[in-house]
């Protein structure tokens, strides 16, 4: 059973930074991995993805502010979030893909950006 465990969320003021971590119970060196988020009342959406060769993609809303990276063991991943905005408030999840595998969703980590 594959599990993803996210951590590092919290309450931060606008303009602040957080670093999210993702640990997978299996190696995903051949997979694309991604960070997703779900804001209250909205659908879960892709935030960023990273391929096994290190190539990255970001949605326009976070481009230039967020940085996705993964460890050499390929079963860990991070999301450095800078210049946070209130609209970044959401529960953040990691998964493979896109497309994600529904059975792999973890509990997520709450990020709240508020003054």
User: Could you read off the pLDDT of 57-83 as tens digits, one per residue?
Assistant: 999 999 999 999 998 776 889 999 999
Q: Nearest 5°: phi and psi at 47?
A: -105, -45
> In which residue ranges of the chain is pLDDT below 50?
none
Q: Are 47 and 97 in contact (CB under 8 A)?
A: no
- Burial class for 37, CB neighbours closer than 10 Å (0-12, 13-18, 19+): buried
d(CA 66, CA 114): 18
Question: Quick one: pLDDT at residue 26?
Answer: 74
* SS3 state at 42: coil
Question: Quick one: pLDDT at residue 30?
Answer: 62
In angstroms and rounded to an integer, the radius of gyration of the C-alpha atoms of the chain is 13
Question: Quick one: pLDDT at residue 49?
Answer: 97
- The separation between CA 18 and the C-alpha centre of its own chain, rounded to angstroms, equals 11
Question: Quick one: pLDDT at residue 43?
Answer: 97
Question: Quick one: pLDDT at residue 16?
Answer: 98
């Amino acid at each position: 059973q594959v599990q993803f465990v996210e951590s590092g969320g919290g309450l931060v003021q606008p303009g602040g930074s957080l670093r999210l971590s993702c640990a997978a119970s299996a190696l995903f060196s051949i997979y694309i991995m991604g960070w997703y988020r779900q804001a209250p009342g909205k659908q879960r959406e892709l935030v960023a993805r990273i391929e096994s060769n290190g190539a990255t993609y970001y949605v326009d809303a976070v481009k230039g502010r967020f940085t996705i990276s993964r460890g050499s063991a390929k079963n860990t991943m991070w999301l450095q979030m800078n210049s946070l905005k209130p609209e970044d408030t959401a529960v953040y999840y990691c998964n493979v893909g896109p497309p994600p595998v529904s059975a792999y969703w973890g509990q997520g980590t709450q990020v709240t950006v508020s003054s």
